[in-house]
Amino acid sequence: MNRSVRIGEVERTTSETAIRARWVLDGQGSVDVSTGLGFLDHMLAALVRHSRTDLVLRCEGDLQTGSHHTVEDVALVLGACLDRALGDRGSIRRFGCGFAPMDEALARVVLDLSGRPAAEVELGLRRERLADVACEDLDHFFRSFAVAARCGLHVDLLRGRNDHHRAEAAFKALALALREAVVTQDGPIASTKGVL
């Protein structure tokens, strides 16, 4: 079994954002992020801590226009980091499922690191904003991440009243599903096609 540390590094600069990220899949849960959006930083910290990965990420975005560009581009960069860190994906478990409660909220995420991007996201957030992030941008985060990571992603909020709890449960559930899916294993590739 390959025990090398898997790392994805991406720099992305547009007229809207400038982002540098280094994501270590085989980490300890070390988080060093700054996006200019406190709520997004909080969600990324939950993702990294509970997936037991290590992330360094810096983003400078056009926050005067709102949270959309920063949230979307951070998701695209994280997805690209994951894609690069996984390489040919030949030795990974591939599938992951995570359930995460956050007080009264409960989220389920099911993940397939198949190389085929698809996303079904049902957060059911009721508020317009959570701190400095528009709630619609959180839904978009998961969809953008799935495209760039080339994965199938299903995010469902099963219950909950508090939107902060609902969002945080979703990020934690993604962390748990990711932690399970990236595990390396011996044996044939986890695909009837013989490739991912």
Q: How many residues does the chain have?
A: 196
Question: What local confidence, expressed as pLDDT, does residue 166 receive?
Answer: 98
Q: How confident is the model at residue 141 (pLDDT cuts 50, 70, 90)?
A: very high
pLDDT in tens, 146-175: 999 999 999 999 999 999 999 999 999 999
In this prediction the pTM is 0.94
Cα–Cα dist 154/173, whole Å? 11
Given 3-state DSSP classes, what are the helix, strand and coil percentages for the chain, each rounded to the nearest 5? 35, 30, 35
| Predicted confidence band of residue 140 (pLDDT cuts 50, 70, 90) | very high
Q: Mean pLDDT across the stretch 34-52?
A: 98
- Torsion, CA 90, CA 91, CA 95, CA 99, rounded to 10: -140
Q: What are phi and psi of 63, to 5 degrees?
A: -65, -15
Percent of the chain residues past pLDDT 90, beyond the cut:
90
CB count within 10 Å of CB 7 equals: 16
Q: Is the pLDDT of residue 190 over 80?
A: no
What is the pLDDT, as a whole number, of residue 3?
58
Q: What is the pLDDT of residue 2?
A: 43
What is the predicted pLDDT for the residue at 194? Answer: 62
Q: What three-state secondary structure class fits 85?
A: helix
pLDDT at position 98 over 80:
yes
Tokens of 118: 């698809």
Q: What is the pLDDT of residues 74-96, one digit of tens each?
A: 999 999 999 999 999 989 999 99
18 CB-near residues (< 8 Å, 6+ apart): 12, 59, 60, 61
Going from the N-terminus, what domains does the chain have, and what CATH number goes with each? Answer: 7-181 (3.30.230.40)
Q: Are strands 54-61 and 31-34 parallel, antiparallel or unpaired?
A: parallel
Give the pLDDT band (50/70/90) at residue 117.
Answer: very high
Tell me, letter by letter, the H, E, C secondary structure of 25-71.
CCCCCCEEEECCCHHHHHHHHHHHHHHCCEEEEEEEECHHHCCHHHH
